[in-house]
Amino acid sequence: MTGKQTCTKKWMALLLALCICILGIAGNSVAASAAARTAVSSLKLSVGSRNVTKKTYSMDVNEKASVKVTAKPSAAGKNAVFKSSNSAVASVSKKGVVTARKAGAANITVTVSSKRYQRKTTWVTIYVRPEASKTPDTDTPGSGNPDSSLHIKEQGIFSAGGTIITADGTFDPADQWEETGAGQTLHADHANVLYQIPENETGLPMVFLHGYGQSRMGWMTTPDGREGWSDLFLKKGHSVFLIDQPRRGEAGSSTVSGTISTKPLEQRWYTQFRIGKWENGKSNPNEGSQFPNSDQAVDQFFRQMTPDTGMSSDMGSDFDNETVAKAVAAAIDEAYSRTGKNSILVTHSQGGGPGWTAARYTQHIAAIIAIEPGGAPDAQSEDFQAVLAQKIPVTFYFGDYIDNGDPAIQATGMWQMMRQACYSFSENYNAGGGNSTVIDLPKIGITGNDHFLFQDLNNDVIADHVENWIQGNVSTDANSGSNASAGSNSGSNNNPGNNPGSSNNTGNNSGSGTAASNKILVAYFSWSGTSQKQAEAVAAQTGGELYRIERETPYSTDYNTVAYGEAKDEADANARPPLKNPLSSVSDYNKIVLCYPIWWHTAPMVVGTFLERYDWSGKTIYPISQSASMSVSQYEESLTFIKGCAKNAAVDAGLFSRNDSDVTAYVSGTVLGNR
């Protein structure tokens, strides 16, 4: 090696060392800079005039609302960046002003990040209502939305069920104040029922049963004074029958002596109800909570709690399930005598128990909607068999903070166990020929709910979902003594480990009598499973019926055989391969969500077979598609194909996406929004 080469190598080594040194210093500087940034420990949003944290917010077309950012440290929120996922539905300015532009849904994301603070992001879903819902009431100038008023045809209060006790001896009118009560009677253990029948009664009656420490008040209003479910479902055309169960509220007369505790226990129940953590004498709701957390609302929430005159345990361990169940059954029978229709029984929490048992004492339950019950009966139990014998459609609703609850709080494990009992019920019930679903709200994009989801800030969103489940699963045959399942067990796919393909082709029950104007069919073709997953999520979100589009001769399980053989040959020939298990009719449905992949630049040909089989007059098809390449032009070609095959249908522009949140937003804002 020459001296010149040696010198050159030394200089190169020195230069390399210098570069490494410089890069190291720079890297350390960047790392130090990142480490020096302050973490943003909290980032919350409030929308509109109410200073509350929400994950969803409803607006009318052309309405504006400001998104306010509250951060810890507070200075971190000053440089927030706002972005809309769908500016055509709801746009957002640099200052966080949201403008609702057309019906649909859009996620507004808010990100804070700067040289001083670490990046943190949160979001709120904006639901824009269709303009039709804003039609002014021409009979009353300036009255605004006609939904703001209720027109009641009939209302009243009655007692149902109960017993009469007569004391030994003979009553002496001349000695009315004697101590023994000889020969006197006690009317007790009945339910007290307040009922209202709307002028526009179009649906089945709904009988509401409260939970532990509650009364019918919980269905009538919310802690912050908004509409309760009784008003919301009256507006949907249902009569409502609101129960105060035996020994509670206005039905306080009891044949057993209880002890009304004066022990302060409100924070026990606040914790059990998964609202949040009570710390430093204040309510601290869970992150993203839908609980109305103003001081006044918290005060009202605690004041709606109601003692039981027949219990001595402050844990409810001596609750008389049988007595309550008999009174509930009597109330349902009375609702039948007044309306001529079977009733949908809506239970909450502890009320779930007598709800199952009531099926042993009445034949007039059209469906059971169990809101976070404390469990469900075992498949071998008398209650389970009574419900199954009548084929009563059943659905469960559970809120948030169960899977993601604080493991240090005992209630978290309790709720996981109770919800699992409901999953087990559904699996056994569906296996026995029934129709049961478990709606886990966070899994369908409805988040932030506690145990009182019917009183939370988004109680109207959940009521809409319940109504869709009713329309898709409950027979309106008013004189039916027992219930044939009107659904396809679609919600059973929510149960972990349940075979998602086992409940698809169950028929459409065209003779169920359910109004076509309200039923949703979720039809899908899937080879790899992606479209099936999307369809199952849509069915869970809407309460619609699942139908799997299948070729009579199954496609090969080998990708190359399908892609470059069967599928290509069919597309080249514009073939219409025969269907396996076609529906006898689609007359019951007015909305069809159609999920499918892109095969050879368009929809699979078997989808064309399905569409060309029926008359789609008066119906709207909502396509949801995806593909590996995600070519928009190919999706547009598939829309042309669908429009050509679906005779007389209105075909929506649909959604082309593989993103779960996009599907949820599209269904909420467009499919469910266009009522």
Q: 548 exposed, middle or buried (CB, 10 Å; 0-12, 13-18, 19+)?
A: buried
As a residue count, the chain comes to 675
120-134, 237-251, 309-323, 354-368: range with lowest mean pLDDT: 120-134
What pLDDT band is residue 136 in, cutting at 50, 70 and 90? very low
Residues whose CB falls within 8 Å of the CB of residue 531, separated by 6 or more in sequence, listed in order = 524, 525, 595, 596, 597, 624, 625, 626
* Angstrom distance (rounded) from CA 374 to CA 124: 31
Name the most confidently modeled range: 87-101, 438-452, 660-674.
438-452
Residue of higher predicted confidence among 29 and 578 = 578
Residue of higher predicted confidence among 45 and 277 = 277
pLDDT (tens digit per residue) in 242-253: 999 999 999 999
CATH ID of 504-671, from 3.40.50.360, 2.60.40.1930, 3.40.50.720, 3.10.180.10: 3.40.50.360
- The residue-averaged pLDDT of 607-626 equals 95
- The residue-averaged pLDDT of 290-301 equals 92
Identify the pLDDT of residue 319: 92
pLDDT (tens digit per residue) in 475-499: 776 444 444 433 333 333 333 333 3
Identify the pLDDT of residue 241: 98
602 pairs with which residues across the strands? 599
Do 42-134 and 504-671 agree at the fold level? no
Identify the pLDDT of residue 8: 52
What pLDDT band is residue 24 in, cutting at 50, 70 and 90? very low
* Angstrom distance (rounded) from CA 412 to CA 309: 29
* Angstrom distance (rounded) from CA 85 to CA 8: 57
- The residue-averaged pLDDT of 196-215 equals 95
* Angstrom distance (rounded) from CA 442 to CA 448: 8
Measure Cα distances from 448 to 211, 261, 331, 397, 673 in Å: 21, 32, 33, 13, 21
The dihedrals phi and psi of 46, each to the nearest 5 degrees, come to -130, 145
* Angstrom distance (rounded) from CA 82 to CA 309: 54
* Angstrom distance (rounded) from CA 490 to CA 504: 7
Res. 607: pLDDT tops 60? yes
Half-sphere exposure of 440 (CA within 13 A, CB side): 21
* Angstrom distance (rounded) from CA 230 to CA 232: 6
Residues whose CB falls within 8 Å of the CB of residue 317, separated by 6 or more in sequence, listed in order = none
- The residue-averaged pLDDT of 338-362 equals 97
Percent of the chain with pLDDT over 90: 59
Residues whose CB falls within 8 Å of the CB of residue 387, separated by 6 or more in sequence, listed in order = 356, 359, 368, 377, 394, 429, 434
Res. 140: pLDDT tops 70? no
Identify the pLDDT of residue 498: 31
Identify the pLDDT of residue 134: 39
What pLDDT band is residue 528 in, cutting at 50, 70 and 90? confident
- Number of CB atoms found within 10 A of residue 30's CB: 10
What pLDDT band is residue 342 in, cutting at 50, 70 and 90? very high
- Number of CB atoms found within 10 A of residue 575's CB: 13
Place of tokens 């075992």: 378
Identify the pLDDT of residue 478: 44
Res. 509: pLDDT tops 50? no
User: Which CATH architecture best describes the domain 42-134?
Assistant: Sandwich (2.60)
Measure Cα distances from 181 to 166, 168, 184 in Å: 9, 8, 6
Place of tokens 């200089």: 11
Name the most confidently modeled range: 309-318, 361-370, 476-485.
361-370
Identify the pLDDT of residue 42: 62
Residue of higher predicted confidence among 457 and 506 = 457
Q: What is the CA angle 400-405-406, rounded to 5?
A: 160
- The residue-averaged pLDDT of 650-667 equals 90
Identify the pLDDT of residue 60: 82
pLDDT (tens digit per residue) in 73-118: 777 667 788 888 777 778 888 888 889 888 666 678 778 766 676 6
* Angstrom distance (rounded) from CA 537 to CA 443: 8
pTM: 0.60
Identify the pLDDT of residue 251: 96
Res. 209: pLDDT tops 50? yes
Q: Where are the domains of the chain?
A: 42-134, 150-262+306-473, 504-671
- The residue-averaged pLDDT of 434-461 equals 92
- Number of CB atoms found within 10 A of residue 571's CB: 16
The dihedrals phi and psi of 209, each to the nearest 5 degrees, come to -120, 125
Identify the pLDDT of residue 27: 43
* Angstrom distance (rounded) from CA 77 to CA 68: 9
Identify the pLDDT of residue 133: 38
Q: Which fold has domain 150-262+306-473?
A: Rossmann fold (3.40.50)
Res. 506: pLDDT tops 70? no
Residues whose CB falls within 8 Å of the CB of residue 655, separated by 6 or more in sequence, listed in order = 622, 623, 624, 625, 662, 663, 666
Report the candidate in 329, 327, 325, 345 with the shortest Cα–Cα distance to residue 205: 345
Report the candidate in 73, 69, 76, 75 with the shortest Cα–Cα distance to residue 124: 69
2-6, 384-388, 593-597: range with lowest mean pLDDT: 2-6
The dihedrals phi and psi of 442, each to the nearest 5 degrees, come to -60, -30
Identify the pLDDT of residue 515: 38
What pLDDT band is residue 19 in, cutting at 50, 70 and 90? very low
Q: Pull the structure tokens for residue 119.
A: 């990046």
Q: Pull the structure tokens for residue 521.
A: 């069919």
What rounded mean pLDDT belongs to the chain? 83
Identify the pLDDT of residue 68: 80
- The residue-averaged pLDDT of 631-651 equals 92
